[in-house]
Structure 1
């Protein structure tokens, strides 16, 4: 089977690994020379994403590229504790969430894809499954993100992403009193502020600012601008007052549910199919890669495999999209909803956290079958 993967970020690299593992000849077409980039924000992988990485055979490499985060703590803007729970896992799960820079995650997955036999071509922006470079492939995987050209090729009437009323500015600060790595989220008047002490003594942070007006360049707001926006949150001001630097700024977008995610030879994965947010974008993309490879290995034909893949992923990603919408609403809440959140969250969050998130973290992606050589079980018949 010849597979063309459009997009070389997390979704594309993970898909390349998974497809190469089942014996496909994979070519990744990446629009940028370096999809990881020299700067960027951090990503967190919860245990469901880590188990999918384990199925791909690259969990240790990703763990080495980042650091484990055991706890998740929620705070009001005034510093009132709102909840303290295991980060991205159930309390009894020995596997801990991993946080790392997005660039390091992409680089690690790309290196593994190459070791698995995939070919990665950079500076190659494909327009979709009908691009001349992809026409010789038996399978086209659209892993080209929320602004996916592959999605538009599948359905020219699909709505475009729209600004979500939030933007993020991410950076690092230097603190000598940093605690052990823990995920901290401060619910502020103007959005939310996430910060994670890293083992090297720095603090990685991301300000998620609620704004009806879309800024031209979020990164240009700078430390002084963020301090003004979060002037009523003492803990945030203390962190920004330490030596700090901005790494990146990003406008956050939402996408209406995608109703056509595949045809007989093309399939969407990751943000191209379901930009879920909720800190699960990378994990869902890696889960997609494992699920797609498993269905291709077990189905008799590619069309049947893509239909089965869409069926097994639809409900899970749809449920997570609703969770993400609720999380966005919490970050853009007005003063009255925020008062109720701060008053009642300490009584309910820790009691119901595991019940509410168990379906997400208990997911077992399964293992990939061994690769086959030439015609034989495991590859779609018409692709042999």
Structure 2
């Protein structure tokens, strides 16, 4: 963890900005929200109506905003514990509070230098660069009002020890609930959001080999599974599967889908499956609908016992990791020497993205917090 002689270890930042995807808070918000998410992608109306049913199963309210409120409170508490008085702000890409409004309010309060934490741990266009594009679009909309804002962000944190440790803790606790016989024969599926294959192929630095999105998940899953074996004496066969596929059926997306894999495992004689959604930082819609509803229905129809592991959420080790990352970025801003923490020797991503990193394959749009 970086150290400093300054009164506040987050100096020179005036505030932290928690930047998230957003979600509807009421049934009338669902379709406007989905239209914002899919703007410019030519998604048919019937597909939007189909996705809307996922939200209406839960009263038309996404859990993500409440989870962000909880994460904000946890970050504020951890910052205060470390003696920091820097406030935590919150902005969304696709629902209120919109990031543009948050930046406008920050400037009005004299908060001019912000450090951003995004609620996405992994490297990809949708998981990193698109957030940076939204920051650029917000400052462009503000125009002259954003001229004196300085916005930085923490690096992708999929392989940060705290994020991995929080997921390991949850997995150990979930497996402990199984009977000994079930623990020995269970199959462990690490779950993440599917993305187009082309997006994975171009994830990572512009001069690299791509596929960093999948690689980070595989590395994180490997370390988490090792942690389960070391702490609980349970070694499970494990693999990476995907959920929440969307878009044109003609576009190849990452597979296998979690439901398809459950069918295959049941055919192989597996009776217990553990689902660990390490690709998500909280139990938002893709988790509660795709895993707790659809995958559970699939498992019940197959006679499989399904154990679902919680996401990192507000686990203390995850919250501490995010504050460590904020302090690390602040030390960089002060031109101090920083030795970042990383597990498993994985590819260490910088806080300032290199040119061509995780590109937008549809359009060349400006993005903040990068060299291009």
Using the size of structure 1 for normalisation, the TM-score is 0.28
Using the size of structure 2 for normalisation, the TM-score is 0.28
Q: Higher helix share goes to which structure?
A: 2
